A and B are shown apart, each in its own frame.
Chain A
Amino acid sequence: MSPPLAPPGWSRWLVPPAALAVHLSIGQAYAWSVFKPPLESALHLDGTQSALPFQLAIVMLGLSAAFGGTLVERNGPRWAMTVALVCFSSGFLISALGAQTQQYWLIVLGYGFVGGIGLGIGYISPVSTLIKWFPDRPGMATGIAIMGFGGGALIASPWSAQMLSSFGTGHSGIALAFLVHGLSYAVFMTLGVFLVRVPRGDTPGAGASGPSSVAGVQVSANSALRTPQFWLLWVVLCTNVTAGIGILEKAAPMITDFFADSSTPVSASAAAGFVALLSAANMAGRIGWSSASDRIGRKNIYRCYLGVGALMYLLIALFGDSAKPLFVLCALVILSFYGGGFATVPAYLKDLFGTHQVGAIHGRLLTAWSTAGVLGPLIVNWIADRQKEAGKHGPALYGLSFGIMIGLLVVGFVANELVRPVHTRHHIPAQREAADAQRQQPA
C-alpha cells in the first residue's frame, strides 16, 4: 500500500482528529479493570488470571511498536491505522466468542495478543505523519494524539461500566459488551483511516523546521539504535515514566495512608476523586507540556520534568503529611510531567534523528515504557509491603520508594544533560534520502 498523499488544499487540521480517532480507541486498554470483577465471577478466575489479557496486550504493544515501526514507515499511516483497526476490533470480537463459550484462553488470545498488536501499531501510526504536517509545532501535534491515549480510558471506563450494568455481568452480558466494543471501535477508528494523509512537499507547513531541530539531519531507525542519544533518551523516558507510575500505581492507598493519623483522614470516595484528578493532570500534561516544548525546547522541558519532578518527590517525602493541598499539588505536578514525558518524546526524537523514520525510532524507544511498567509498580509495591511487615505505617511506608524515585529522576536528569546532536557519521547521505523519497512517490 502506498502512503496516501494529500490532495491540493488538504488541511493539516484534519490529521489530528484522524490520530485521535485511533488513540482515543486504543486508550481503552487502561480501562480493562472494568471487566475484571465480572470476568472473575462469571468464569471463576482469580485476580492474577483476570489481569492476563491486559498484561499480554501491553507486552504486545511494546513488541509490535518496536518491531512493526519500520513496516509502518514503509507502508504509511493509512496501512498502519487499518491494521490497528482490524486487530483491535478483532481482539474484542474473539473475546466476545471466548466469553460466550466460556473459553477464557480465547479472551487472552483475542484481547491480549491480537488486540495488543493493534495497540502497538495504532500508537505509533500517526506520529511520523503528524510531525511531517506540523514541523513548526511537533510537540503540540504529537501531544494531541498522545493525550488521546490517556483520554481513551476516561471514555471507556464509564461507558463499559454502563454497558455491563445494562447487559448484565454474566458471561453472555460480557460477550455482548465485547461485541459492541469491537463494532463501535471499528466504526470510530474508520475516521482515522479515511482522513489520514501524508503531506506533499509543497504543502504549507511541510518542510519547515521547528525551533529546536537540527536542520537537515536524517537518521535511519537502525542507525539510531547505534547512537548514544537513543539510549540516553531511553533512560530519560524510562526514569520519567517509572517516577510517574510510582505515584499512579498506589495513589488511592497512598493518600489514605499519608493522612490516616491526621485530624482530616481521607475517605474512600475522596481517594477515588484524587485518582481521577491525577488522570486529568496526566492528560493535561500531555498536551500542555508537549506544546510548551515547541517554545522552550525539548531539552529544557525534560530538565523541568526530571529536575522539578525530583523536587516534588522531595517535598512530598519531607512535608507531604503536614498539608493535604501540598501533597495533592505535588502529586498532580508529577503526573502532569509523566504525561508530558510521553507526549514530548516523539518531537525530541524528531529534533535528534529527523523525520525520515521517526515513527520506527519512537516504536523502539517504547521498550523503555514496558521496562518502566514493570519497574515502577515493583519498587513501590515491594517496598511498601516490606515496610508494612517491619511494622511501619502511614507516610513511613513510602519514604524509601520516594528516595529511589528521586535517585532515578536524577539519573534521568544527567542522561538528558548528556544528549548532544547526533554525529554526522550516522546521518543518511542526501542521495539515498532522495532516492527513498522518489521510490515512495506513486507511479
Chain B
Amino acid sequence: MPSASSPPSRRGLIALAWLWVGAPLAYGVYELVQKATQLFTG
C-alpha cells in the first residue's frame, strides 16, 4: 500500500486509456484483415 507521500498508482487509468484507443483500432485492423485476405482468395 502506498504511503501518504507517494504518488498514486496510475495503472487503472493507463489500462483504461489504452483500451479507449485500442478497441476502435482493433476493429479497424479486423476489418482491414478481412478485406486484405481477398488478395489471396478473390
Contact = CB atoms under 8 A, between A and B. Distances in A.
B17 A18 contact: yes
A21 B20 contact: yes
B31 to A, nearest CB: 4
A18 B16 CA distance: 11
Contact of A11 (B14, B20, B37): B14
B28 A158 contact: yes
A32 interface: no
Contacts of B39: 270, 273-274, 276-277, 328
Interface in B1-42: 6-8, 10, 13-14, 17-18, 20-21, 24-25, 27-29, 31-33, 35-42
B31 A158 contact: yes
Contacts of B35: 272-273, 276
Contacts of B13: 14
A209 B35 CA distance: 42
30 contacts: A7-B7, A9-B6, A9-B8, A9-B10, A11-B10, A13-B14, A14-B10, A14-B13, A17-B14, A17-B20, A18-B17, A21-B21, A151-B25, A151-B28, A151-B29, A154-B28, A155-B28, A157-B28, A158-B28, A191-B20, A195-B17, A268-B42, A269-B38, A269-B42, A270-B39, A273-B36, A273-B40, A273-B41, A276-B32, A276-B35
- Greatest chain A CB density within 10 A among B13, B21, B27, B38 is at B21
A17 B22 CA distance: 9
A279 interface: yes
B36 A276 contact: yes
Contacts of A277: 36, 39
- Greatest chain A CB density within 10 A among B27, B28, B35, B41 is at B28
Interface residues of A, number: 34
Nearest to A195: B17
A20 B36 contact: no
Given A154-B29, A157-B28, A191-B17, 5 more contacts: A17-B18, A269-B38, A270-B38, A272-B38, A280-B36
A267 to B, nearest CB: 5
Interface string A138-162: 0000000000100100110111000
Interface of A: 7-11, 13-14, 17-18, 20-21, 24, 148, 151, 154-155, 157-159, 188, 191, 195, 267-270, 272-274, 276-277, 279-280, 328
Contacts, number: 88
A148 B28 CA distance: 11
A154 B17 contact: no
Nearest to A31: B28
A330 to B, nearest CB: 15
A158 B26 CA distance: 13
A159 B17 CA distance: 21
Nearest to A184: B24
Contacts of A267: 42
